[in-house]
Structure 1
Amino acid sequence: MHVDQFNRELLAFLAAASTPFHAVSALVSRLQSAGFRALQSDQSWSLEPGGRYYLTRNDSSIVAFTVGSEAAPEGGMRMVGAHTDSPCLMVKPAPEKRRAGYFQLGVEVYGGALLNPWFDRDLSLAGRVSYADQAGALRTATVDFRRPLAVIPSLAIHLDREANQSRSINPQTDILPVLALQAEPGTPSFRELLRDRLLMEQPDCAVREVLDYELCFYDTQPPALVGLHEEFIASARLDNLLSCFTGLQSLLAADGRQSCLLVCNDHEEVGSLSTSGAQGPLLLSTLRRLVPDEVTLAQLVANSLMISADNAHGIHPNYADKHDDNHGPLLNAGPVIKINANQRYATNAETAGLFRLLAKEEGVAVQSFVVRSDMGCGSTIGPITAGGTGIRTLDIGVPTFAMHSVRELAGRDDAAQLCRVLQRFYNHPGRLTPA
């Protein structure tokens, strides 16, 4: 796929995927259009060579895989992993706040969000709602207001003269979004407002009462190509929906001869320990359904390899000293192999060597990232997957600025370049271990 077409589709995906629930829905739509069949965890599976399948968990995580027409799964699966969640502001269960004449909602910070950029943005709300229908049955549905309906105004510098030197943000008191002037007595509750929105979006849902919700605010500014020559991609949730989309496009373009898998987990930004997170049972239980025999499963694990795709820190020209001198990835200079001696990344010489070989075969440049020795290092689903399954893993990513901001920045060419390498990985014949 040409880079321009790739980026058009990437921007459309980013715009649609306002929450992990919406991201999985967008992934499912593309998989179904490509002939992938849905599987249910509570039903028996009948898999065929050459078959294409997917299953979801919690509506926010997904596993898609192909059963190779020439290579059964126990001969080794080519796996790519990413995550669907991003740092954000989640609405609390009893959120209504009425202060100083304004109606606000209480929020809780999800993940390691960079809070300053959330101020003075046009914000909307999206997520999942559980409700009782007219018959009293429990249902769930996604909602997305899709329009600006809130803002977190900055405090004017006249009232905080030290704002540019020492302003700190209290997540309990300083980041409550303003939605309206204070409601009059008798105004519907937030749950009633959600009920009205559900009926507007899905008039056939027959909602009687909203029971609960998982909703987050997001910036309504659409993804865009920016820069003097449009050499950058600016968007919310690049970390890590960019990798989800890249992994999907690679899987869809695979030739189907090898057994391949893509897993996109929720809850990576908060530690991955959940039913749908990488530290939960989703991946391993799927592999056990593919090959129920323990000996055959051990063969699958020994012969497989996982590429954990999660954005990397590009070297910031204003803060170049935050990087190790020899490991500052540049935007639009190729995907990045992420390495950490303390196993915050799962890469080793063998797995990195394979990635370099595949990239060389595609004519794609490769960069390296190692955090400064006097700084802490983040982590990914890579070490969690490797430790939980025993599958050899490496960590890679596209270089990015402003990671965990409400709007991040990546290079125009890097995701498409990474897609080429991942597609070659999916099509790689024979064993994935050194001769």
Structure 2
Amino acid sequence: MLNLSPALLCPIDGPALNYANEMIQFIDQSPSPFHAVEQSRKTLIAAGYQELSELDSWEGRLKPGSSYFVCRGGGSLIAFKLGTAALAEAGTKIVGAHTDSPNIRLKPRLAKGAHGHMLFDVEPYGGLLMATWTDRDLAVAGRVLVKDPTNPQGRKSVLIDSESAVCRIANLAIHLNRTVNNEGLKLNKHSQFSPIVGQLGNLVKEGETPAEVALNWIASLAECEAQDIVGHDLCLYDAQKGSIIGLDQAYIQIGRLDNLASCYHGLTALIEQGDQEPPKYTQMLCLFDHEEVGSCSARGAKSTFLGDVLSRLCGGAGEPLSRCIQKSYQVSADMAHALHPNYSDFHDGTHQPLMNHGPVIKNNVNTRYATDGDTSAVFREACVAAGIQAQEFVNRPDLACGSTIGSLTAALLGLATVDVGNPMWSMHSVREMAGVADQVLMHRALSAFYKSS
């Protein structure tokens, strides 16, 4: 029977605080999708997972009950613990999330000059709340592609992180923008969103350009020569570390909660299964890049990545893969909109998820979310098994609804999927906010989903 009573406030106890602090550390160490995948990779290796490569044949290497992972493009990862039965016979339980977050990306020519100042040349990535990025201490992170004659591709990927702040998008004083508090801060993405790095006279010598100076600085972080850099994927992020706030320690504030929190919950839930006797079905975690910009890339959720891995595990496409998919379920774990005490009228009147009241099932009849009656029942059962009551979210019908990787992978593969998430505020802000208790509850729910028969 459906439990229609309101979910109860969950305690902020020692286990909840410990788990939240461990998650904060994971997010702080993951300022870019490439860092998030590298952190996940190290965690999986420490847990006994074996790394595979898409360049190699997997035939004869995979053993029932053993655990493996494979990365694609540095920003996406799929990990799995094989069951005791063939996938065509038992299917797989999948948790999916995404490694990217809305932020600011650096252009190929990294910097420019304006009125005596050096500025990073940037463009927004995804649907970020632009105003929140102003007057923040911003650092630089990402990957640099460096020449490497010992590598078959002739280059290697080097992760960089300035760690400390190096730039800021300075606001215009209210004396020059008198209407800002009534009309809101309006920023032109091209001409009013460039972070200030320093004084041209101090940084750029005669014969140099700002772009060359910036590239030399990036080279120093990568510990290489500037002329050896053949490409880069760099972003800005808030240099302030995450923290727990509130007189009752109820809230987490940090950047990239959407969706590194879900990545962490899926990762820890999958690794926890290593202590259990392997079931017949395979347990899988999929972390995709580029969700915030539509997932249309070689490593996004709309790519062949998941289908390719499942085909290999099934021994090829065709009937074995089709049978596997029809016996499988996916939990698409992203974040959810908590009822905001200052903006309660933006929520549906009867579906109002609350912070620190547990995981949220996200529903949309127009399939912006992949949830249906069957898949929501699967997640509710997992929550019940973990001693948790799931909450429900429905977007107000007169407001546009967001989407996730759930609908994409469901349509691409025919994979039964439920969309879920932890309630949060300030989604897509430079610093987002979520409940402390909800984090360990989502971990427990996903762990129960992996265990469910």
Match status 1:164 vs 2:181:
yes
Match status 1:331 vs 2:343:
no
Post-superposition shift, 1:140?
A: 2.2
Q: Deviations over 1:207-258 (max 9, x none)?
A: 7422221111100010111111111111100000000000000000012513
Secondary structure at the aligned position of 1:311 is classed as strand
2 CA distance for matches of 1:105 and 1:196?
Answer: 12
Match status 1:376 vs 2:400:
yes
CA RMSD, Structure 1 to Structure 2 (Å): 1.8
Q: 1:113 to 1:256 in 2, by over 3 A?
A: farther
Partner AA of 1:171 in structure 2: K
Structure 1 partner of 2:206: 185
Structure 2 partner of 1:72: 86
Post-superposition shift, 1:206?
A: 6.8
Structure 1 partner of 2:426: 402
Match status 1:22 vs 2:45:
no
Partner AA of 1:170 in structure 2: N
Match status 1:126 vs 2:141:
yes
2 CA distance for matches of 1:208 and 1:233?
Answer: 42
Q: Deviations over 1:339-398 (max 9, x none)?
A: 000000000001111111221121112111100011110000001010001110000000
Structure 1 partner of 2:377: 353
Partner of residue 194 from structure 2, selected from 167, 176, 179? 176
Structure 1 partner of 2:307: 284
Partner of residue 321 from structure 2, selected from 297, 301, 308? 297
Match status 1:243 vs 2:262:
yes
Secondary structure at the aligned position of 2:192 is classed as coil
Post-superposition shift, 1:184?
A: 3.8
Asked if 1 retains the 8 angstrom alpha-carbon contact of 2:160 and 2:221, the reply is no
Asked if 2 retains the 8 angstrom alpha-carbon contact of 1:89 and 1:217, the reply is yes
Partner of residue 298 from structure 2, selected from 262, 275, 289? 275
2 CA distance for matches of 1:256 and 1:104?
Answer: 56
Asked if 2 retains the 8 angstrom alpha-carbon contact of 1:331 and 1:410, the reply is yes
Question: Any stretches of 5+ residues in structure 1 without a counterpart?
Answer: 430-435
Question: Any stretches of 5+ residues in structure 2 without a counterpart?
Answer: 1-13
Q: 1:107 to 1:360 in 2, by over 3 A?
A: same
Post-superposition shift, 1:95?
A: 3.5
Structure 2 partner of 1:214: 233
Partner of residue 122 from structure 2, selected from 98, 107, 128? 107
Structure 2 partner of 1:52: 67
Asked if 2 retains the 8 angstrom alpha-carbon contact of 1:192 and 1:210, the reply is no
Structure 2 partner of 1:310: 334
Asked if 2 retains the 8 angstrom alpha-carbon contact of 1:96 and 1:105, the reply is yes
Structure 1 partner of 2:109: 94
2 CA distance for matches of 1:86 and 1:11?
Answer: 15
1 CA distance for matches of 2:160 and 2:380?
Answer: 42
2 CA distance for matches of 1:113 and 1:249?
Answer: 28
Worse overlay, 96-105 or 80-89: 96-105
Post-superposition shift, 1:4?
A: 2.6
Asked if 2 retains the 8 angstrom alpha-carbon contact of 1:143 and 1:198, the reply is no
2 CA distance for matches of 1:290 and 1:382?
Answer: 21
Q: 1:398 to 1:217 in 2, by over 3 A?
A: same
Asked if 2 retains the 8 angstrom alpha-carbon contact of 1:63 and 1:263, the reply is yes
Secondary structure at the aligned position of 1:29 is classed as helix
Partner AA of 1:331 in structure 2: M
Partner of residue 149 from structure 1, selected from 152, 155, 166? 166
1 CA distance for matches of 2:209 and 2:127?
Answer: 33
Q: 1:308 to 1:134 in 2, by over 3 A?
A: closer
Post-superposition shift, 1:326?
A: 0.7
2 CA distance for matches of 1:248 and 1:313?
Answer: 23
Asked if 1 retains the 8 angstrom alpha-carbon contact of 2:215 and 2:226, the reply is no
